[in-house]
Amino acid sequence: MSEIRKTENQAKLIRLFRKVHRITASLLFIFFFVMATTGLLLGIKKHSGELVQAKSYKGTSTELSNWLPLDSLHKNACKIFRDSISQTLPLKLDRIDVQEDKGMVKFIFAEGFWGIQIDGATGKLLHIERRRSDFIEKLHDGSILDYYLGTSNNQIKLIYTTIMGLSLLLFTITGFWLWYGPKRIKKGKHKVSNQ
Per-residue pLDDT of the chain (195 residues; tens, 9 = 90+): 466 677 777 778 878 888 887 888 888 889 999 999 999 999 999 999 999 999 999 999 999 999 999 999 999 999 999 999 999 999 999 999 999 999 999 999 999 999 999 999 999 999 999 999 999 999 999 999 999 998 889 999 999 999 999 988 988 888 887 787 777 767 666 555 555
Residue 116: strand pairing partners: 107, 128
Q: Measured between alpha carbons, how far is 148 from 111 in angstroms, rounded to an integer?
A: 10
pTM, two decimal places? 0.77
CA dihedral 135, 136, 139, 144 (to 10 degrees): -10
Is the backbone of residue 142 left (phi > 0), alpha (psi -120 to 50) or beta? Answer: left
The domain locations on the chain are 2-45+140-194, 54-130
CB proximity list for 116: less than 8 A, separation 6 or greater: 77, 80, 81, 106, 107, 109, 125, 127, 128, 129
110: DSSP letter: S
Residues belonging to the chain: 195
CB proximity list for 97: less than 8 A, separation 6 or greater: 105, 106, 108
Q: Measured between alpha carbons, how far is 94 from 60 in angstroms, rounded to an integer?
A: 25
Q: Measured between alpha carbons, how far is 78 from 122 in angstroms, rounded to an integer?
A: 15
SS3 128: strand
